[in-house]
Amino acid sequence: MIELSRLSYRMIMIDSLTIPPGITSVIGPNGSGKTTLLRLCSGIAVPEAGVIYIDGKTPRETDVGWVNEFPDKNILFSRVSDEIASSLRFSHQPCGEIDVAVNTIAQLMNITYLLDRTIKELSGGEKVLVALASALVEHPKILVLDEYDSHLDETRCLQIEELIRTSGVPYVIRCTQQMETAARGDYLLVMENGRITVSGNPIEVFASLDQTSFYPLSWRCNV
């Protein structure tokens, strides 16, 4: 379980929250604190007060995969294969194992055609795919995705979701503006003014939002 207790950081105030394994979606209006919550869960930011534990460890003691909302902010190296391999090289894994791991994740994501290209040649969506491959290649304990789906079409999003579900990553926390994407998750958090206003199963949570703009359009059309 991911446990947040007496948490405060800038505008974020969370008394107590438990996030189960699976895919958790975070939604809410702009400025509600979604990205800040993700940064805290990833260990990029440290709370001013309170604690976050991921199966008993802090985020900075946990293997975390992070994908930024802005594709260029994910990138460290100029060549795609080097970017995907970066975390493995930083942990001094053998070159042969690194090559196998990079090729395996590229094949799973159908991006082997990108491996020999430079980052500057890529579209925004391709950069997101490379960032996601870089985050998944080391099999993290938690994968944190900040609106990555805003750069991908629906078909690609569905493919990536299936890959994530079968990747073995215990915890996935994603911020999204796409309610259809949020509805496909296992758990849903709604944020407003730095607080969690509703949390739970997507069906139950969206039932409380049926008169708002956050209700999935496809669900409304099927009524």
Q: What is the mean pLDDT of residues 55-79?
A: 88
The C-alpha atoms of residue 75 and residue 67 are separated, in whole angstroms, by: 10
Q: What pLDDT is recorded for position 26? A: 96
Q: What pLDDT is recorded for position 150? A: 83
Q: What pLDDT is recorded for position 222? A: 64
pLDDT 10s digits, 14-29: 999 999 999 999 999 9
Q: Note whether 77 and 119 are within 8 A (CB).
A: yes
The C-alpha atoms of residue 207 and residue 183 are separated, in whole angstroms, by: 11
- Considering the chain, what percentage of its residues have pLDDT values greater than 90? 59
β-pair partners for 51: 5
The C-alpha atoms of residue 38 and residue 181 are separated, in whole angstroms, by: 17
CA distances from 16 to 13, 69, 179 (A): 9, 27, 25
pLDDT 10s digits, 162-196: 988 888 899 999 999 888 899 999 999 999 999 99
Q: What is the mean pLDDT of residues 2-8?
A: 93
Joined together, the tokens standing for residue 14 give 């969370």
For the chain, the distance separating the N- and C-terminal CA atoms, rounded to the nearest angstrom, is 35
β-pair partners for 220: none
The C-alpha atoms of residue 201 and residue 19 are separated, in whole angstroms, by: 11
Q: What pLDDT is recorded for position 24? A: 96
Q: What is the mean pLDDT of residues 78-84?
A: 91
Which amino acid, one-letter code, is at 97? E
pLDDT band at 66 (very low <50, low <70, confident <90, very high): very high
pLDDT band at 160 (very low <50, low <70, confident <90, very high): confident
Q: What pLDDT is recorded for position 223? A: 52
Q: Kind of pairing, strands 2-9 and 187-192? A: unpaired
- Considering the chain, what percentage of its residues have pLDDT values greater than 70? 98
Q: What is the mean pLDDT of residues 143-171?
A: 89
Domains located in the chain, CATH noted:
1-63+141-150+169-223 (3.40.50.300), 69-138 (no CATH)
Q: What is the mean pLDDT of residues 130-143?
A: 92
β-pair partners for 23: 172
